[in-house]
Structure 1
Amino acid sequence: MRPPDAVNKKSEHPVQAPHSAQERLLPANLRWDDLNAFLTVTEIGSLRSAATMLNVSVNTVRARIARLEGSMNEVLLERSPDGVRPTAAGRRMGDLAKSMRGATMDALSHEAGYELRRPGEIRIGASEAIGSGWLTPRLLDLQQQFPELTVSLMCDYDVHSERSADLDIGLLFTLPRNPELVVSKLATLHFMPFASRGYIEQHGVPKSLDDLRNHRFIEQVAPGVNSSLLDHLIGSDRPVGFLPIRTNSSLALFWAVASGAGIAFMPTYVMGITRKLIPIDLPAQLRFDLYYYYHPEARHSPPVMAGVSWLRSVFDPDRYPWFRNDFVHPSEFNPSTHASGNVVRLFEPLIGDDLI
């Protein structure tokens, strides 16, 4: 991967002074952003995807890896049928870099002029649904990048709760009120009705929104959730028994639907974490844009930028089609997405076939 003009510039963000005998073999002028680019490429196997995660150009990723290879005087990456992969030297470098990255990030965050909201801890805020159902199974990937830090995932039942004063990174379904924050769109979430197989076997599938009135519906009511949506869909005059369960929790909503209690609107990414639910085709698909934010002084904070890169990877619409801007029906989800290990079947060990 190293071109003839690979350079050994003095580091803007050098790694911390090495302590172990193995670390002392590293050149003193290594740059953290070069190491991070290398690790990101090796973790996902693609220069282009790594550039997207790091929010830089592909040429910048190539230049950083070339500079790292020049510093090491080793070829660290080679092309493979699936993209790129580390050489033997690259694998050794990757193991060492991972062990160093945590302490380096914490120190560089301080040097960059940004103090984490709590020392030794990076705080990420999300709604209860996203935090519990989507981020938690992937949280270890972020924590392992800097093991010296605690990753605090702060879940909130209010989907519009900003809490920027207490968070290093936050996720919101609306633009934050604080105009000083750095904000970017992360994904689009699509919602449609779902039911369990057991419910459908017993009650059938509603053929229209009007027919939905003849079924049982599970409603989520929480701050920021549009609880009047149901009134717009079927009217406020609801039949007796139409609403057997109401909850403020998305996980409680899931369990109620999974146990056959009724139908509910749920994000289509639920198909990525369980096979137990069936999408119901009604003319009532909803979409909501999801944004992330962080503080402007954290632009050069390695822990925060690593957190942002991690978020971009776990909401990558190419990898996870349910987060694309345009609606993709669950029937069109590529089964290879699930087989690749990129999706965690969160609820499968917990819900037996006999339940639904």
Structure 2
Amino acid sequence: MLPRGLRWDDVRAFLAVAEVGSLRRAAVLLNLSPNTVRARVARLEEAVSHILLERWPDGARPTAAGMRVRDLAQRMRGAAIDLFSDEPRYELRRPGELRIGASEAIGSGWLTPRLLDLQQRMPELTVSLMCDYDVQTERSDELDVGLLFRPPANPELMVSKLATMHFLPFASHDYVRRNGVPTSLDDLLNHRFIEQEAPGVRSDLLNQLVGSERPPGFLPIRTNSSLALFWAVASGAGIAFMPTYVMGVTRKLVPIALPAQFKFELYYYYHPAARTSDPVLKTIAWLRELFDPAIYPWFRNEFVHPSEFGPAMRSEGNVVQLFEPMIGDAI
């Protein structure tokens, strides 16, 4: 029996908002009106005597109390499914191996330095990180846990929002010394721009900013690799849009002050049969630590300019120190 005043429908509404990061998206998922979802969340907050969600113009995220309730609610949901399900126990995609899928940028640039920490939490397993240039296609048939920049289309998957990625134009200090910085979007055409072209990457946004007619030499390099993009910019080849978290891993890049800023939501997903799998649950807990907006401000819903990161904020998670062995002189 649930405690007095606590209704499962309210818990379910809150859990949907907490997992997708948006009241409106949760309403669509639950086939309810946004007002009904809002009322149920408010009723749950009253029942537990805590504010569970922080509301922002672009969505919502759990508070510290909300994270605790979310985790409990997910376990409640898993237990309820187990009670009425005849599904066999979840088996990892490959015996003895935990498989994680992510984009090349996130996999190589953010997850890799901490993979050993995850592996040490389950020393009996091999942790396989599968990086992909395609940032929009889910691969639940070959992965135990996957990361995507949009909710997977498969309605049977367990999905939760993990972070918000903010993008700004960046250049190297060397490029700025040699070429200066563009003072407007029109002036950007007088500079050199590095473009990434890959499945799911919004290359069309460049056309919206500067148009499709560009002077010779404007686009000296195009690549499908985010790592190649990083090295091209770090070596002074040009300007490119990059996630603001690069300022947490390198000292060589500088954000360019242009009226252009983008953001994308990052989600994790896993098979519903894995909701009680110890390796999968440990992986999800590890991911939440790595993308905790309280520690890493570049993953918050609201935009935090890199100039506000500061030495204290950058060192809070020892991010630069963590990446120094990997990128050496580039930082």
Does the TM-score normalized on the shorter chain lie above 0.5? yes
Shift of 1:336: 2.0
Distance 1:210 1:316 in 2: 37
In the other structure, the counterpart of 1:234 is 210
Is residue 2:86 matched to residue 1:117? Answer: no
Deviations 1:259-302 (A, max 9, x none): 00000000000011101100011111000000000111111111
Distance 1:233 1:192 in 2: 13
Shift of 1:178: 1.1
Shift of 1:52: 3.9
- The one of 225, 244, 250 equivalent to 1:249 is 225
Amino acid at match of 2:221: I
Amino acid at match of 1:289: E
Determine helix, strand or coil for the equivalent of 2:313.
helix
Structure 1, unpaired ranges of 5+: 1-47, 61-110
Is residue 2:117 matched to residue 1:141? Answer: yes
The 4+ residue runs of structure 1 with deviation greater than 6 A are 48-51
- The one of 199, 211, 224 equivalent to 2:187 is 211
TM (normalized to structure 2)? 0.73
Report matched runs for 1:250-329 at 5 Å. Answer: 250-329=226-305
TM (normalized to structure 1)? 0.68
- The one of 49, 56, 81 equivalent to 2:71 is 56
In the other structure, the counterpart of 2:16 is none
Amino acid at match of 2:234: A
Distance 1:274 1:285 in 2: 20
Aligned identity (percent) is 70
- Shift of the 306–167 alpha-carbon distance from structure 1 to 2, 3 Å rule, reads same
Deviations 1:179-223 (A, max 9, x none): 100001000000000000000000001111111000000000111
Report matched runs for 1:92-103 at 5 Å. Answer: none
Report matched runs for 1:31-50 at 5 Å. Answer: none
Determine helix, strand or coil for the equivalent of 1:251.
helix
Distance 1:169 1:228 in 2: 29
- Is the 2:296–2:317 contact (alpha carbons within 8 Å) kept by the matching residues of 1? no
- Shift of the 332–259 alpha-carbon distance from structure 1 to 2, 3 Å rule, reads same
- The one of 303, 307, 325 equivalent to 1:331 is 307
In the other structure, the counterpart of 2:198 is 222
Amino acid at match of 2:223: T
Equivalent residues, number: 255
Distance 1:276 1:261 in 2: 13
Distance 2:324 2:222 in 1: 21
- Shift of the 348–263 alpha-carbon distance from structure 1 to 2, 3 Å rule, reads farther
Determine helix, strand or coil for the equivalent of 1:305.
helix
- Is the 2:195–2:240 contact (alpha carbons within 8 Å) kept by the matching residues of 1? yes
Amino acid at match of 1:298: A
Structure 2, unpaired ranges of 5+: 1-62, 76-86
Shift of 1:335: 2.1
Segment drifting more, 293-302 vs 112-121: 112-121
Distance 2:247 2:69 in 1: 28
- Shift of the 138–53 alpha-carbon distance from structure 1 to 2, 3 Å rule, reads farther
Report matched runs for 1:143-158 at 5 Å. Answer: 143-158=119-134
Amino acid at match of 2:133: Y
- The one of 174, 196, 201 equivalent to 1:198 is 174
Shift of 1:224: 1.0
Is residue 2:324 matched to residue 1:352? Answer: no
Determine helix, strand or coil for the equivalent of 2:139.
coil
Deviations 1:131-184 (A, max 9, x none): 000010111111100111011110000001211100010000111121100001
- Shift of the 121–314 alpha-carbon distance from structure 1 to 2, 3 Å rule, reads same
- Is the 1:274–1:348 contact (alpha carbons within 8 Å) kept by the matching residues of 2? no
Amino acid at match of 1:257: V
Deviations 1:57-112 (A, max 9, x none): 6xx9xxxxxxxxxxxxxxxxxxxxxxxxxxxxxxxxxxxxxxxxxxxxxxxxxx98
Distance 2:244 2:163 in 1: 13
Report matched runs for 1:77-88 at 5 Å. Answer: none
Shift of 1:55: 4.8
CA RMSD of aligned residues (A): 2.3
Distance 1:50 1:150 in 2: 33
Determine helix, strand or coil for the equivalent of 1:198.
helix
Distance 1:199 1:349 in 2: 22
In the other structure, the counterpart of 1:33 is none
